[in-house]
Amino acid sequence: PETLRSLPSLLAAPSLEDVRVEDDQILELVDGRLVPFSATEPGSLFATARALGFSTEMAGFYLPYCELLRGLVDVCQSLSFYNVSTADDDFSPIDPVLTTLVLWPRQFPFGLLKNPPFAMLQRELVEHATAFARRPMRATPPVFRLVHFSVPHLPFVFDAEGYDPPFDPLQTAPDSAYVRQLRYVDRLVGDLVAHLRSTGAYETTTVVLLSDHGFRFGGKERDPL
């Protein structure tokens, strides 16, 4: 519920009361009525960026961003947290099989087959997001870029040094797997800032880092602050 409300709220700019998915539609609750969600109204995030003269770019997983922002985004990439083919640059007949395994339950024995493709998909999502975040920053027109990363969300397949999936990347207790992936996120952000510095873009760039919740499964990381 937190993610489902926070991402549309970010795109729409005002915080939404409630967001639901029915069939293939994203709906918001307005005055007690469910209406189709729109991310392109005047005053929304990308409409505002456009009005201020920015070139707009969006990449991420979870929502169909390119469809939601149609007409307001110059460069866009939508990825799926479950559909393997969205992160694959070329056609592969194995993608439907891997997607089916990713959709399987995490419980034993299904997890034995689910975990490897889910871990690889997480790595590919992060690689795509990182490459997008490192795209050159033009001075004219200035660039407004939003990148939705899939980490530190599970599966927990990274440590501070990079991709190193454990046997069960979906294990949530103890929280050590989450903490090691959080260290990777810290390094990832540092690498992106270092990249901006090396290209000379850092001094004219504002970097905003957002997260919608802490660790959902208990421990001190559950505190969103």
Q: Could you tell me the two tokens for 37?
A: 């969600």
pTM comes to: 0.92
Q: Which of 118, 89, 88, 85 is nearest to 101 (CA)?
A: 118
pLDDT digits (tens, 9 = 90+) for 151-193: 999 999 999 999 999 999 999 888 899 999 999 999 999 999 9
Instruction: Supply the pLDDT for residue 211.
Output: 86
**What are the residue ranges of helices labelled H in 35-148?**
45-51, 65-68, 95-103, 110-133
pLDDT at position 220 over 80: no
Instruction: Supply the pLDDT for residue 17.
Output: 87
pLDDT digits (tens, 9 = 90+) for 71-130: 999 999 999 999 999 998 888 999 999 999 999 999 989 999 999 999 999 999 999 999
